[in-house]
Structure formats: structure tokens, C-alpha cells
Chains A and B, each alone.
Chain A
């Protein structure tokens, strides 16, 4: 998805993991994924650069769909769709 599309996407859940470093954002994403339905989109806010590569790998393994990342000021948002 393009950055524009991602910015307009409707998210079912937003996880703010900006306060934690690796593997904190992934742990929080894992905890949150159980609270949303299949097909729902979740965004993860993180300031930890490793998250950008970790989330796609996690999605790949769990079968979720990785949608992309958007850079914000000093952090970024990662989008994914639950399987």
C-alpha cells in the first residue's frame, strides 16, 4: 500500500509502543492482536528502528498481512491486517 493509502486506512486498534525498545513493541503487538477480529487492521507506533523489520517477519510467520510503514516525526507507524 502507498503512504497515502496507509494514512487514510481505518484501524481497529492502535498500539502505542513508543516507550519501549526491542522486543517491547513486538510483545505489545502480540498482546493486542488477540483483541481484534480477523481482517481488522492494527497500527503499531514505535520509535525503535528494529520494529520496522521485525513486524513484517512476525506477520510473515503468523500469516498476517503486512501493509507497510509510515514515518512520522521521530517515530513511525506500522500497519498490519490480522489473518
Chain B
């Protein structure tokens, strides 16, 4: 009769140990980190991604942005032309916006009048302009990872990409690994 509470305590202790082990694995696997896969190349969506990233970085959350597909247009510099492109790549280069200041709006683009109006409103309301957003992002250490495959697909060259202090090139596995250890993952 007297041994029963003791064995119960041992059992409980074992359960606590298992739970503690599980909690510590969970804690270690989820960092205070935000991963965003940015696929859209629209001005409004790039801005949304940047504002969320800046807010997170201000809170000392590590931010890793994975730019892929249409979003790559936002990273092009406006003056530099890539060399050695084939016909299709050249067409892509001409058809797609050359840099973050030439992006279109997803709705109400109105042949370019929409972005002008939005930019005017943003200035009036004191919202950071898109150039300033990328500048602040660089200062806060936000990482930009460029999807190598999309870049090849669209025929963009590395020399065409904008100057950014934390820019690297990688594949989808990098995003999956980053997202796996992040406590927040978004897709824009």
C-alpha cells in the first residue's frame, strides 16, 4: 500500500521529463524569425511585404525574404542591362518592370496612373517610399534571397540586380529550411 504513491511519483517524473524534452525541441526548432516567399511583382504586394518585414525587423525578429518569379522585377536596377541574353530573355527584360519604382498596381493600375496616385498619397501621408523601405531594410539586416531558378527562367542576370547589402542567391530548399525554423511564414 505504501509503495503506490512512490511509484506514482516516479511515473509522473518520467512524464514530466518527456514533456520537458519535447518542449525544448519545439523551442529550439522555432526561432524568432519571419520568412516570406514573395512571388508577386505588384507594387502594392511588394510594399505590403516590405512594411511587414520592417515592422518585424524593428522588433528584432530576423527576417528572410525569398524573392521569386514576378517579384524579381522589383530587384532590378533601372539602368543596367544584362548582357548575353537570347531573344526570349530580351523580350522578358523589355516587358517586365525595370525596378521597384516601375512596378504596377494589382488593381486600379489605370495604365500607370494608379501607381502615380498611390505614390502621391503615400508622400502626402508620410508613408515611407519604396526606395526608403529597401534602404531601411538593408540597415536593419533584412536578408533577401533571390530564387536562382526564376532568375534563369526570366533570363535576368546577376549584374542587373540592385545593390543591396544582404543579397544572396539560392534555391527553393533554402526557403524551405529557413521557413522550417521560422516561427512565422508568409506567402505573398
Within 20-36 of A, Cβ neighbours of B (below 8 Å) are at 20-24, 26-27, 29-30
List, in ascending order, chain A residues with CB within 8 A of B125's CB. Answer: 21
> Is B151 engaged at the interface, CB distance under 8 Å to the other chain?
no
> Is B170 engaged at the interface, CB distance under 8 Å to the other chain?
no
List, in ascending order, chain A residues with CB within 8 A of B58's CB. Answer: 23, 26-27, 29-30, 58
CA separation between A62 and B126, bound complex, in Å? 26
CA separation between A24 and B126, bound complex, in Å? 8
> Is B177 engaged at the interface, CB distance under 8 Å to the other chain?
no
User: A-facing mask of B50-77, CB < 8 A → 1, else 0?
Assistant: 0100110011100000000000000000
B interface residue numbers (CB < 8 A to A): 51, 54-55, 58-60, 125-128, 136
Other than A20-B126, A21-B128, A23-B58, give 17 A-B pairs with Cβ distance below 8 A: A18-B126, A20-B127, A22-B55, A23-B51, A23-B54, A23-B55, A23-B128, A24-B127, A26-B55, A26-B58, A27-B54, A29-B58, A30-B58, A48-B126, A54-B55, A58-B58, A61-B59
